[in-house]
């Protein structure tokens, strides 16, 4: 049921005076406020596009990404009918669902400008590296100065059937001094929406430690893998991605991936495949990058953790194979005390 919010100001003497509800000049102003502070909608969002053109002729008011790497479509209701606004946001979702990581990065970098690229903006916003896999799920938010019972009924119905859609209404108030205030109301509590759609997510779970060990054994690199994992776990935090074990360290106030081991891309003949952010590792150890590279196998290749990275950025590194225990020992000697 549409809500009618009322606000009173309490004076020093305890008397109450109601603050007048006023009409927003336009929902374009609301859109500007959202771009300035997306926290009006949620703390877990980074704006990566505004007025984003789809391949179907539509234009998304605001496109965001959350800390999981999932996309959030934000659409202002404006003067659309209930049928129009829900059809429009669902149409946009049908386009967003197939966006690749490269396309998302392209959209974000074009919007972020000097605040980008996306990898940098993501770390600054969430204090975490950009996830390996983006857009495994998405949500839709309709934003309005108010909604009618028909829109509410449609959105409730879609949400109950596992569609990640919600409505946020903002009401505008102005007190006697001219100070403006906004109130925010979710049609459905955000936690309920996430719970309802969790079973519908196409996100693949990260690989487990046991699965990684089994793959390393099947590919004939179990000794190299076990030695590196055992030693590195004592000095770096660890976690898994979709296909690797990632070792992380705190740099510049945030947790960042420094090294990954990928048993699935390894073999007895080639050795244990790895990727290392050499600049990050050098910074973590407090040494020159050349010192780090000298501890790696001789045939390593240059590697960019971000598709626009260059050798001067922290997203640049080296990739290759540990083929022998001697190569592993040389690397660990520099990283692991004693």
In CATH terms, the fold of domain 7-198 is: Trna Endonuclease; Chain: A, domain 1 (3.40.1350)
CA 93 to chain centre: 17
Task: Give residue 150's pLDDT.
Answer: 83
Pairing of strands 71-76, 165-174: unpaired
Residue spans of the domains in the chain: they are 7-198, 209-333
Tell me which residue has tokens 């225990």.
Answer: 325
Chunked into runs of 10 residues, the chain (338 residues) has average pLDDT values of 68 79 67 79 88 89 91 82 80 90 90 87 85 85 80 84 85 79 78 54 72 95 95 88 86 82 94 93 90 92 66 76 95 77
Place of tokens 């980008």: 116
Show Cβ contacts of residue 272 under 8 Å, excluding neighbours closer than 6 positions. Answer: 216, 221, 224, 225, 228, 261, 263, 266, 321, 322, 323
Helix axes 209-218, 222-232, angle to 10 degrees: 150
pLDDT in tens, 174-219: 887 888 787 788 888 777 775 444 445 555 667 889 999 999 999 9
Question: Does the bond joining 117 to the residue before it have cis omega, within 30 degrees of 0?
Answer: yes
Q: Quick one: which of 252, 258, 221, 220 has its CA closest to 238?
A: 258
User: Angle 256-259-261 (CA atoms, 0-180°, nearest 5)?
Assistant: 135
pLDDT at 241: 81
In this predicted structure, what is the pLDDT of residue 198? 45
Task: Answer for the pair 197, 165: CB distance below 8 angstroms, yes or no.
Answer: no
Q: For position 1, what pLDDT does the model report?
A: 45
Percent above pLDDT 90 for the chain: 30
State phi, psi for 223 to the nearest 5 degrees.
Answer: -65, -45
Distance (Å, rounded) from C-alpha 145 to C-alpha 24? 7
Question: In angstroms, rounded to a whole number, what is the distance separating the alpha carbons of residues 231 and 147?
Answer: 58
Res 199: pLDDT: 45
The CA distances from residue 294 to 16, 288, 289, 313, 333, in Å, are 73, 10, 9, 19, 12
What mean pLDDT is reported for the chain? 83
Backbone angles phi, psi at 204, to 5 degrees: -80, 140
What is residue 36's predicted lDDT score, i.e. its pLDDT?
Answer: 79
Question: Which tokens go with 148?
Answer: 């009618």
Contacts of the segment 106-114: beta carbons below 8 A, 24+ positions apart = 107/48, 107/49, 107/52, 107/63, 108/48, 108/49, 108/65, 109/308, 110/49, 111/47, 111/48, 111/49, 111/50, 112/48
Predicted pLDDT at 137:
86
């Amino acid at each position: 049921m549409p809500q009618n919010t009322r606000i009173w100001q309490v004076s020093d003497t305890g008397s109450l005076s109601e603050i007048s509800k006023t009409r927003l000049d336009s929902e374009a102003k609301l859109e500007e406020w959202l771009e300035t502070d997306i926290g009006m909608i949620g703390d877990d969002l980074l704006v990566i596009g505004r007025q984003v053109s789809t391949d179907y002729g539509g234009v998304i008011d605001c496109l965001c990404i959350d800390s999981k790497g999932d996309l959030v479509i934000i659409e202002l209701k404006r003067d659309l009918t209930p049928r129009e606004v829900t059809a429009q946001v669902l149409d946009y979702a049908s386009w967003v669902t197939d966006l690749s990581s490269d396309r998302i990065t392209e959209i974000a970098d074009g919007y972020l400008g000097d605040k980008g690229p996306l990898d940098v903006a993501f770390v600054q916003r969430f204090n975490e590296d950009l996830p390996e896999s983006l857009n495994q799920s998405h949500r839709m938010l309709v934003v309005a100065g108010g909604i009618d019972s028909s829109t509410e009924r449609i959105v409730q119905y879609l949400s109950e059937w596992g569609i990640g859609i919600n409505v946020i209404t903002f009401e505008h108030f102005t007190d006697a001094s001219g100070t403006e205030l906004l109130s925010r109301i979710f049609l459905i509590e955000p936690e309920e929406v996430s719970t309802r759609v969790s079973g519908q997510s196409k996100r693949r779970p990260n690989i487990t430690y046991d699965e990684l060990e089994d793959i390393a054994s099947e590919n004939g690199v179990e000794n190299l893998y076990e030695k590196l994992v055992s030693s590195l776990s004592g000095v770096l935090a660890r976690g898994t991605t979709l296909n690797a074990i990632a070792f992380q360290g705190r740099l510049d106030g945030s947790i960042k991936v420094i090294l990954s081991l990928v048993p699935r891309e390894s073999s007895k003949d080639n050795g244990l495949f790895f990727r290392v952010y050499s600049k990050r590792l050098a910074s973590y150890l407090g040494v020159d990058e050349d010192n780090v590279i000298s501890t790696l196998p001789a045939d390593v290749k240059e590697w960019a953790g971000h598709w626009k990275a260059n050798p001067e950025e922290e997203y640049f590194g080296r990739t290759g194979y540990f083929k022998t225990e001697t190569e592993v020992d040389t690397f660990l000697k520099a990283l692991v005390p004693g």
